[in-house]
Chains A and B, each alone.
Chain A
Amino acid sequence: MISDTTKARFAREVAKYPADQAQSAVMACLSIVQQEQGYVSADSEKVIADYLGMAPMAVHEVTTFYNMYNQKPVGKYKLNVCTNLPCQLRDGQKALHHLEHKLGIHMGETTADGLFTLQQSECLGACADSPVMLVNDRKMCSFMSNDKLDQFVDGIRAAEGKA
């Protein structure tokens, strides 16, 4: 099932493409579902496939090809820290390790309270801002020194009543 609001967002994306090319909107539809539900389930893929007139497998191929689609549920805040070379030279790796320590998890894992998922990522395209951390696919946090990372985690925990 998809809500009318979601359908309206899908329709806006489909309208960008020629009438017989609705499939072009699959990337956007998947990211909309992920924003609303936290991840892309097999059911969501089926709904999108029906909406766009694609085979469910063709949608699944897209979900699994692109790094940012979550194929299973993640924490409420998904944190992606870039460790590619330009970031490695400016403490990207250190930022990732600091978060592992602060959150008590390894990269790729989710905290027990379900609040944070931590992932290493490839180039986020913000190399001069390193260390950089992408939050929930859409917000790029820049110059994330250990102090700022602490402020970030503590701030989110407080806002979520889990301080």
Chain B
Amino acid sequence: MSAHNVIDQFVSKGIETCFHGRHINPQIYAGLDGSNWRLKDYEARGGYQALRKVLGKDGSAPNPETGLAGMSQDQVITTVKESALRGRGGAGFPTGLKWSFMPRKFPGQKYLVCNSDEGEPGTCKDRDILQFNPHIVIEGMIIAAYAMGVSVGYNYIHGEIFAAYERFEEALEEARAAGYLGDKILGSEFSFQLHAAHGFGAYICGEETALLESLEGKKGQPRFKPPFPASFGLYGKPTTINNTETFAAVPWIIRNGSQAYLECGKPNNGGTKIYSVSGDVEMPGNYEVPMGTPFAKLLELAGGVRKGRKLKAVIPGGSSSPVLPASIIMECTMDYDSISKAGSMLGSGAVIVMDDSRCMVKALQRLSYFYAHESCGQCTPCREGTGWLSKVVDRIEGGQGRPSDMDLLDNVAENIMGRTICALGDAAAMPVRAMIKHFRHEFVHHVEHKTCMVAADVSKV
């Protein structure tokens, strides 16, 4: 067997993470099987019908009042606003509102950027979208570009998922050949060029302004905001940046209407959301379910806690979001408002599940190492503070902790938060504060006994 073939037999086919049939009313993952990612398959699923509708190329009669076919820019933005689609990358900012910030009358070049730099630990949903349904992202981006009057776009893809980048490039070629991308799309007056770019291993580039720096061929150090990208973005031009899953939601909204999308979720939290469930569950994977689905239901879809153990804690929205103990998360529904009320964040929808055999000090040790490793070094509180956090948690885990260390951690975290250019500092500080808030007794046990509390407990189970 050639080396190439040896490697290929271990490459994921997406069966476990995406084609398991345990989604609920999926919109983005619906009907996928891994082989049907091409343009003709996407069209057979109703793909590019939303674009045709927007451009007035779906064969329907022109509006009798205006005499115009298709949808105006305002109509598209209003539809997205009314759908209550919120940014799927982590911040949950209302998408339609973001689109309305773009200066539409601006005479010069403007840009549209898709943030596929999916590096928030726990998150692997965009990879499956890009690999198994790339055209849904392309169609969403074309519609967004139309609504904001943008003629050039880029999709910046996480360097570690290179296969997804190569797949997306192939899909772009198909879309260009079919006249969905390029000059005078489908015979309309609207033109849009779309390209793919890739990162190469820098968590910070998921931050939108660091991503723009990287797209400009520089090291990915975030920019101070304001000015926001809507006025000073790529190459200093007005730019809108949305997450992959956000763009992927758009065609469904245009085809089925904002009301249908809203009703699929719950008020202020429209549509479906893809949750990447990882850690101590029987069947880790991506699960697309309506916003507002109870956490308990999501856990059940993922096969429950592994080996029938007891749920201990869940990090509900990627590693930066504050951890929630089992008693709290089991009462939550999975949407922005419910998780926020419980004291955490829905973030990117990456649900990291931990059972009762897990030591929270060890979990925090790994996360703190990560943030220290990935701090870009630009702001002193983050560059130095993340190193402090990592070293102090290290010594607690290693049995060298001091009684004052928990307060020290809290103090360092507090002094990082809000004092940096971008959110990486907060992202490093929040997990620390939440771990100490909810599991202080485990840290104290480590300091006092120089051993892990959990190992002792679990041996009794």
Contacts and interface: CB of A to CB of B under 8 A. Distances in A.
Interface centre among A121, A130, A134, A140 (most CB of B within 10 A): A140
A156 B3 contact: yes
A89 B354 contact: yes
A16 interface: yes
Contacts of B154: 16
Interface in B242-265: none
Interface string A96-130: 00000000000000000000000001111111111
A90 B6 contact: no
Contact of B198 (A27, A54, A148): A27
B219 A65 contact: yes
B284 A90 contact: yes
Given A68-B201, A143-B12, A24 B215 contact: yes
Contact of B200 (A30, A58, A122, A159): A30
A142 B161 contact: no
B426 interface: no
Contacts, number: 203
Contacts of B17: 128-129
B160 interface: yes
Interface size grouping (class) on chain A: 35 or more
Interface in B282-304: 284-286
A126 B124 contact: yes
Contact of A141 (B10, B197, B200): B10
Contact of A125 (B109, B123, B354): B123
B219 A61 contact: yes
Given A137-B162, A140-B163, A128 B366 contact: no
Contacts of B277: 128
A144 B10 contact: yes
A89 B358 CA distance: 8
Interface size grouping (class) on chain B: 35 or more
B201 A67 contact: yes
Contacts of B7: 135, 139, 141, 152, 156
Nearest to A84: B121
A160 B121 CA distance: 34
Contacts of A66: 159, 199-202, 219-220
Nearest to B163: A140
Contacts of B350: 86, 127
A127 B197 contact: no
B197 A128 contact: no
Contacts of B198: 27-28, 31
Contacts of A137: 159-160, 162, 200
Contacts of B162: 137-140
A88 interface: yes
B161 A128 contact: no
Given A66-B159, A125-B124, A52 B235 contact: no
Contacts of B161: 124-126, 140
Interface centre among B11, B162, B214 (most CB of A within 10 A): B162
Interface centre among A130, A156, A159 (most CB of B within 10 A): A159
A64 B130 CA distance: 28
Contact of A90 (B2, B279, B370): B279
A86 B122 contact: yes
A21 B126 CA distance: 28
B10 A27 contact: no
Interface in B199-224: 199-203, 214-220
A44 interface: no
Interface string A37-64: 0000000000000001010001001100
A25 interface: yes
Contact of B121 (A23, A77, A85, A159): A85
Contact of B279 (A27, A68, A89, A125): A89
A122 B373 contact: yes
Given A90-B279, A123-B203, A129-B12, A24 B217 contact: yes
Contact of B119 (A125, A138, A139): A125
Contacts of A27: 159, 197-200, 214, 217
B367 interface: yes
Contacts of B354: 89
B216 A148 contact: no
Interface in B327-374: 350, 352-354, 358, 363, 366-367, 370, 373-374
Contacts of B109: 18
Contact of B278 (A65, A127, A134, A160): A127
Contact of B10 (A21, A61, A142): A142
A71 to B, nearest CB: 12
Contacts of A23: 216-218
A128 B217 contact: no
Contacts of B218: 23, 58, 61-62
Nearest to A83: B366
A78 B364 CA distance: 28
Interface of B: 1-3, 6-8, 10-12, 16-17, 109, 118-124, 126-127, 154, 158-163, 195-203, 214-220, 235, 276-280, 284-286, 315, 319, 350, 352-354, 358, 363, 366-367, 370, 373-374, 376
20 contacts: A16-B196, A16-B197, A21-B217, A23-B218, A31-B200, A66-B199, A68-B160, A85-B363, A85-B366, A89-B278, A122-B201, A125-B119, A126-B161, A129-B12, A138-B162, A139-B162, A140-B161, A141-B12, A156-B3, A160-B3
Top-3 shortest CB links A-B: A67-B201, A68-B201, A23-B217
Given A30-B200, A85-B366, 12 more contacts: A25-B217, A65-B220, A68-B159, A85-B370, A86-B352, A89-B278, A121-B160, A123-B122, A125-B123, A128-B284, A140-B12, A141-B11
